[in-house]
């Protein structure tokens, strides 16, 4: 990482120009900012910002993953309990209840996991700039 001398933004080493202000590593504005290349430069700048926002909320992503794994574990446990109950010639009602309750818990936990991902995607998509078509007069 290197720090831009003009705007103090941290830039990755594989870039020679600051994405924020267009200065090179020495602090002088380069020819990247001429009129034709400014549009491309701004698009790259927006993509870098979007990528940084995509890396937000790592704790929520971990919680969503744990919820999903817990749902799989409960689903497998419900099936095993139902099979053991039937093999031991116990009531089929207990086995059926195990499957129904386990299935409902699995659905709820997976829904919570997906809902977390939806909220993260909504936050990401609200930061995306919309490209508006220009209409001619």
pLDDT digits (tens, 9 = 90+) for 82-124: 999 999 888 889 899 999 999 999 999 999 999 999 998 888 7
**Crossing angle (nearest 10°) for helices 58-87 and 92-127:** 170
First-to-last alpha carbon distance for the chain, in angstroms, is 46
Q: What is the DSSP letter of 135?
A: P
pLDDT digits (tens, 9 = 90+) for 38-68: 666 767 777 777 677 667 788 888 999 999 9
Instruction: Classify residue 118 by burial, with Cβ atoms within 10 Å: 0-12, 13-18, 19+.
Output: exposed
Enter the pTM of the model.
0.55
* Strand, helix or coil for residue 59: helix
């Amino acid at each position: 990482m290197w720090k831009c001398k003009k705007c103090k933004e941290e830039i990755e080493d594989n870039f020679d120009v600051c994405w924020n202000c267009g200065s090179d590593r020495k602090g002088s504005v380069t020819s990247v900012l001429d009129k034709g290349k400014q549009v491309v430069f701004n698009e790259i700048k927006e993509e870098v910002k979007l990528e940084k926002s995509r890396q937000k909320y790592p704790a929520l992503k971990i919680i969503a993953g744990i919820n999903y794994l817990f749902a799989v574990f409960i689903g497998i446990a419900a099936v095993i309990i139902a099979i053991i109950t039937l093999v031991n010639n116990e009531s089929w009602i207990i086995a059926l209840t195990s499957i129904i309750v386990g299935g409902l818990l699995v659905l709820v936990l997976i829904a919570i996991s997906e809902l977390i991902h939806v909220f993260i995607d909504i936050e990401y998509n609200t930061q995306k700039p919309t490209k508006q078509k220009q209409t001619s007069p």
